[in-house]
Structure 1
Amino acid sequence: MPHRSRLHAPVFLALVLSLAASVPVAVRSAPAKVSTLEDIQKEFATVPCEDKERLAAVKALYEKAGAPAADIKIEQFDNVENLVLVKPGASAEKIVIGAHYDKVADGCGAVDNWTGQVALTQLYQTLRDIPFKKTLVFVAFGREEKGLVGSRAMTKAIPEEQLPEYCAMINIDSLGMGPPQVADNMSSKPLAKFTGELAKEMEIPFAHASIGRANSDSSSFVAKQIPAVTIHGLNNNWQRVLHSGNDQPAKVNAASVYLGYRLALGMIVRLDQAACNAYR
């Protein structure tokens, strides 16, 4: 089950201050804007509660984060649409950063998974002007709630000879209730271990927590033998919120989203420096 830790205000304030002073060198030495807690809080003032509105709202988030409209692509498959934004690196080696944008019928899908879209677009905004060795592929997956349809369509479309170019996949699904955690049953063991070690190094509260028989978009990449990890931020009350009318913006703890964003930021920078097969 998800971790019992809570984000107490005084402890969190100290953590925010320490993280603000510990920006990765690759980010600190470039023209980057590292998001603040306040930046993330603002993104939950409004959340699109209708599933049909979500894809356009994700596109608007990327444009707000500075993405040229021409760079934002909608990949159309037979039964799903994924939004894809590629930040070219010096090589064809790739790091995929993904989160699903769809929601179930009940609630606003604020925790599951607007938190993922906010984290991804804040990551893009921070990293967009930084030169990378590897190519970054930001993906908003459609129809995750219907059986990982978007991520399965994407991975199925990767030519066999290109699979070795996919070094790692970071999936963000349902932050907003507690400290960052890895869903071990949806993640590659080497990448899950790396995530925990980095969180400890960054002094970010962290835990490993499988979530029943659930799956997320990382599973589609693991099935293709691409190292992948799902980061969530749930606590023991998650079953009262997810997939229910209770999944509303008021349920989102912006501190949890901020911590997930900072952990993913550190992961991307570190993975860019590692050999592509480091976590296979």
Structure 2
Amino acid sequence: MKKKICIIILSIVIVCSLLSGCGDKHTAIIMKNAKDFTLTQEISESFKQENYGIQSYAFLKYIQENLPGRIAGTEKEKEMASFISAILLNGGYSEKDIKLNSFDIEEGVPMMDTSGENIFDGGEDSQSSQNIEVIKEGQSKKTIIVGAHYDSAGTHGVDDNGSGVAVALESALRMIDVETPYTIKYVFFGAEETGMHGSKEYVNSLTKKEKDNIVLMINIDSILAGDNLYLYGGRINDKGVVKDVEAVNKAFEIAKKANLPMQLTPKGNVDYPYPTGQKRSDHAPFSDIGIPYIYFEANNWLNGLPVETENHGLIMHSDKDDLSFIENEYGNRAKDTMANYSHLLHLVLQENNWE
């Protein structure tokens, strides 16, 4: 009996080692490709710009042209991970600053229907993804998490969610030499579209001390195409009362003071009580353990439901999630929105007293 138990334990160890080795192999390839990445002229030039949104727009154009079909677990998602790491390396972070943590993708509930037209093939599916974390030390060990998922529903995925990734990258580069009140952890989540696997994995990996140190989570998802620029926050308790709204209200006041066109959701919505929104993005696992969040998303709630755009309905998860379509239909909306959210994020990260 003891022999059988030993064999079983040994088998488990071997399987775990193989899985770990596989993850290490993927992350090693991702980082090697990141170090070999050559910046385009447009991206190189954007590094010299100080105006908000110029860097993130250059990143977004590269994503549009080179990284469609970033389905969770596929080669394209890993290429995106290399691109993100390359921008961080070229922007002043060292390889030691960047952590790539692999995880297996288990079956989950997709965030939305993914049966849209013009779906790209993401390449070979490894059934594994990875989170990318880079830490910018602040005056305090207390931490703000800035998160954005980088997989897509198989489209160009510039709205959902190349836009969030691009703004988070711009912020990481912009903040590298800025003295900030809090330590900032930029986390680029993999495999959101298949059930928020990356953010769940990240939250589950945190120690109690790390959780206690997080004062705020900022999630940036699908900010490119929506008619209105929203900030969401708060969680609904067992009695149906919305709690933890101080952070989102404070961010809204910061936006107003800077003349930025952000809105809170309309009051009176029974299904989505003010100022909350949907829980179908990476802020949800943080909110579930009591961490205050601010969720950046461009949408349209004027009819009581998140239709994103009045003229074309949902852009995300459709063949319309394409920078060419968005700019043909809406002109400078993409550039303006990236600039506005980039500006607000910069202000929020320099603010004191988020505790």
TM-score normalised by structure 1 residue count: 0.78
Cα drift, residue 179 of structure 1: 4.6
RMSD: 2.4
Change (3 A) 1:214 1:90: closer
Partner residue of 2:262 out of 200, 206, 220: 206
Is the partner of 1:144 in helix, strand or coil? coil
User: Does 2:94 align with 1:68?
Assistant: yes
Match of 2:321 in 1: 247
Distance 2:339 2:140 in 1: 30
Structure 2 contact 180–349 (Cα < 8 Å) conserved = no
Change (3 A) 1:246 1:217: same
Distance 1:212 1:158 in 2: 25
Structure 1 contact 111–175 (Cα < 8 Å) conserved = yes
Distance 1:59 1:263 in 2: 24
Structure 2 contact 234–292 (Cα < 8 Å) conserved = no
Partner residue of 1:144 out of 179, 183, 192: 192
Is the partner of 1:81 in helix, strand or coil? strand
Listed one character per residue, the Cα deviations across residues 161-204 of structure 1 (whole Å, up to 9, x for unaligned) are 43221111111111112453113477942222112111111111
Unaligned 5+ segments in structure 1 are 1-31
Structure 1 contact 233–257 (Cα < 8 Å) conserved = no
Is the partner of 1:243 in helix, strand or coil? coil
Structure 1 contact 112–247 (Cα < 8 Å) conserved = yes
Change (3 A) 1:160 1:212: closer
Structure 2 contact 167–338 (Cα < 8 Å) conserved = yes
Runs of 4 or more, structure 1, over 6 Å off, are: none
Shifted more, 65-74 versus 205-214: the winner is: 205-214
Shifted more, 237-246 versus 163-172: the winner is: 237-246
Match of 2:28 in 1: none
Report % sequence identity: 22
Change (3 A) 1:159 1:200: same
Distance 1:127 1:167 in 2: 18
Change (3 A) 1:50 1:56: farther
Distance 1:56 1:269 in 2: 28
Partner residue of 2:292 out of 223, 227, 230: 227
The higher-RCO structure (CA 8 Å, 6+ apart) is: 1
Cα drift, residue 40 of structure 1: 3.5
Listed one character per residue, the Cα deviations across residues 46-98 of structure 1 (whole Å, up to 9, x for unaligned) are 21113123212222232343322332110123434100001122332111111
| Structure of larger gyration radius | 2
For 2:61, give the aligned amino acid. Answer: A
For 1:269, give the aligned amino acid. Answer: Q
Change (3 A) 1:212 1:230: closer
Match of 1:4 in 2: none
Shifted more, 173-182 versus 81-90: the winner is: 173-182
Distance 1:185 1:111 in 2: 24
Match of 2:37 in 1: none
